[in-house]
A and B are shown apart, each in its own frame.
Chain A
Amino acid sequence: MTFKAIILVGGPSRGTRFRPLSLDCPKTLFPVAGHPVIWHHLEALSRVDGLREVLLIGFFEASVFESFLFDATREFGDKFHIRYLREYRALGTAGGIYHFRDEIQKGDPQHLFVLNADVACSFPLNEMMSFHTTHRGLCTILGTKVLPEDAHRFGCLVAKPGSNEVLHYVEKPESFISDLISCGIYLFDVAIFNTMKEATQNKASQIALDPYTDSDDKLQLEQDLLRSLAEAHKLYVFETKDFWRQIKTPSSAVPANALYLEQYAQTFPERLAKSEPGGPQIVGAVYIHPTAIVDPRAKIGPNVTIGPRVVISKGVRIKDSIILDNVEIKNFACILHSIIGWDSKIGNWTRIEGTPVINHQTIITHNGVKIQSIAILSKDVTVKDEVVIRNCTVLPHKELKSSFHNEILM
């Protein structure tokens, strides 16, 4: 059997909820656990036998992915080709796939993985594959259980007990339908292109009949395809008990980072830092880039990623945080539940602190103002000695000379 995989990367007009970090880096390339978000997708795909090609589909300029594709080809090139296909405009999640149907079907793959870029997941792709061969559907969707009160943020699935056929699919319902939700990861038979053709024609005729309809001409996987697949008894769900997270807001990058680091601890413990004589004190899962310099008197972890060329001085404490490239953290600073943006500088005895993300709640309301629960410092933010920055989101190129609490700093 041969496969192809598609990663839906979106475009610059998407991902505004990932601001301010997306002002300097598209969400899909934001590093979690030391690697860009979609690198983790590629790594999972590299474990699927018979995978020939991975296509990134989106509407970013091609230059955005140039250096990522260069690095990824070097790392995964012996397993599969990687290309970026750019939509001439946003065509919708299924629209882009349908538009590039000829490219995708080149080489006659029988199956197609489609992965949303904005998820962190253990990607049990081989398990999905085995399950897919046991049913007669066109699509296997990866599902996971969430807390009932969180279910309404996602696409909800009602599955038939026993067969796991999806009886009903609703995107972000207002009321409670099910606590089983779609992970945004699919395995299709190539015959899906016929269904897409029908869906495209249906949509066109609908718009022709009713020019005042609310729906646009974008073809969405979730609304336009999955529903009709479910009605045709062609949609099945494979439920994973493993980890899954959506990466929408900057705050969600921190739990995603933690989950990947914990996965490393199970699967690739050699990727993680260890406490060694003469080295910093390491607690739990911590990734430190080989070019970073960490003073032996620092205490790091759990759930910390320290990026390239970062310099961390003595007596620094970092926990549940992502420290991006080239950051400098001076003596005795304390950084908790935060993302520190590229080239930022943190002063002596300075404290940067966010609020832990609980369940999928990445936005907290403080005095009626909605803010990111994680403290977010964007690119090139300088924070003076001895101040405290709590629950703040700081836009790029700022200098902070005094303490701030619960604010967005423009």
Chain B
Amino acid sequence: MNLLTLTTALLVLAALAYRVGQRRALRLRTDQRLAALPSHYGAYVALWCGLPAAALLVLWLIGESQIVRLLVVGALPAESQGLAPAQLDLVLDEVARIAAGTNLFEDDSLAAAAARYSALRGISDLAKAVVVMAAAVAGLVAGQHLVVARLRARDAVERLVRGALMAASTMAILGTIGIVASMLLETIRFFQQVSPLAFFTGLEWSPQTAIRADQVGSSGAFGAIPVFAGTAMITLIAMIVAVPIGLMAAIHTAEYASPRARAIIKPLLEVLAGIPTVVYGFFAALTVGPTLRRLGDTIGLDVASESALAAGLVMGVMIIPFVSSLSDDVINAVPQALRDGAYALGSTQSEVIVRVVLPAALHGIVGAVLLAVSRAIGETMIVVMAAGLAANLSANPLQATTTVTVQIATLLVGDQVFDSAKTLAAFALGMVLFMATLGLNIIALRVVTRYRQAYE
């Protein structure tokens, strides 16, 4: 019996258990007062039936391969048994392939082990099905016997649901921890090869370490300042575009626009947020970049066709809806009572907005801007396509520049070895990026929460 059939059977049984529990509760209800609704008793029995069995199944699946492996190793030829763990894994993979009939090479010495493997898998599958279904049936019977009128089934079910919800929320935290841990290890390996001081203060970025010593450009310099500077510049340009436009758009939609205009403008602005960044990327690279270059030519400026300005401008456009949508929300959240108070003192509409509404919404707006900044720092596709690769340390936005995200993307594209500083540098950059955006998000959330507290 394969896994899909088994899970389906389990679900069917749980559904049956639900009916059984519900029926029993309904029968009890004819002469007693129940402590919960019949559906709660149904859910209660279904959980008794399904949960222990499912837990057992999961444990079995985790333990199965380990146990089978241990038993198979005994059947391997003597010379294979003494191999190092990594090589032993390869041999065992081959055994599994022979058993499945997908092996590439004939190797009779492994035939015995393969036969053993097949036999063990067969036994395991059967045993698994029997044990799990037995557990489910036992759970159903036990649960059904537990159903009495005074059983507080709702409490039990809700406790369990609460537990499940909590587990789901912990998932996000575990995900973050996992990501950090995976980057952290590689980052540490990188800093064993390149000193942190050189990385954080060096002015030259040239990560192309050569495979052969005599190759051109084999030096490999890992001074990340030019890369950080590129990110900072493009982010700055993007924010110069996005913050004023986004904020003014938000003020318009929240305060001035008629309900009908608002109903049209807001979704249209949010369409911008739905455009894939890769589309923005070629808009920047094929339209904005060359246009800027031509414009520069006409007024005698030397503009690179891949310029920080082009990437920054387009990124700014991309970020407008983040700023406008969040700001619009916080401006709308400013209590009407404050506006009324200001109007009643004889304020004009612009005075109300500038002197009362915006200061009251300031925390939220700052939060929105910080979230937008962290979004700009992490944005990859636009800069990959439009900003260039050369790490020039220059304050001229008309030149090509590069960003942290671009470097990560280029360092990890293609075949790489995971022990060279070049590849590992990507993780160090990623770590810095992660820390920066994490810090910004934490600050932004704090600011926003503090703002919310003021009105609740």
Partners in one complex: no
Query: Which residues of B are in contact with A by a Cβ distance under 8 Å?
Result: none
